[in-house]
A = this chain, B = another copy of it.
């Protein structure tokens, strides 16, 4: 709290005029951006895009978040583990629902020919989301990389692989 206070030019005690506790501060910083992923998922689900287009739109959203809100994504990925009680359960639920929706899109895509039915959906989604979650750390070291090129590359690597 002392470090955070120093960052905004006040003393630690003054933070408690704005947030009830350190935990409440963490919750306010985490949950709002976390909900952005859920909202994007709802938009995608309610669209009439193909499964392939839906996954591409979600990937683009992850890339945009990593690029435009690098620090916020870093906070979510690194510090969700410090959430407690009700809010922690709520975050877990958001995350689990997101993954379930993601998998469902892939499953449907498997049946209509846009995704390879031989791949395990669990493994594939884990791989895609692992990469997208930590993309902020890659971008932190490659800030000059063109955003549209990054989107294109992520699409190719995550969907078509690195081989010929």
Interface residues of A (CB under 8 A from B): 52, 106, 113-116, 118-120, 122-124, 126-128, 130-131, 133-135, 138, 142, 149-150, 153-154, 156-164
Contacts and interface: CB of A to CB of B under 8 A. Distances in A.
Majority secondary structure, A binding face: helix
Given A126-B135, A159-B161, A160-B160, 4 more contacts: A119-B162, A127-B131, A127-B158, A158-B161
Nearest to A123: B153
Contacts of A113: 164
A98 to B, nearest CB: 16
Most buried by B among A124, A160, A161, A162: A162
Contacts of A118: 156
Stoichiometry (number of copies): 2
A130 B157 CA distance: 13
B122 A162 contact: no
Given A130-B131, A131-B131, A134-B130, A123 B157 contact: yes
Contacts of A149: 120
A158 B161 CA distance: 6
Nearest to A122: B142
B159 A119 contact: no
Contact of A162 (B116, B150, B162, B164): B116
Contacts of A154: 123, 127
A119 B153 contact: yes
A130 B25 CA distance: 29
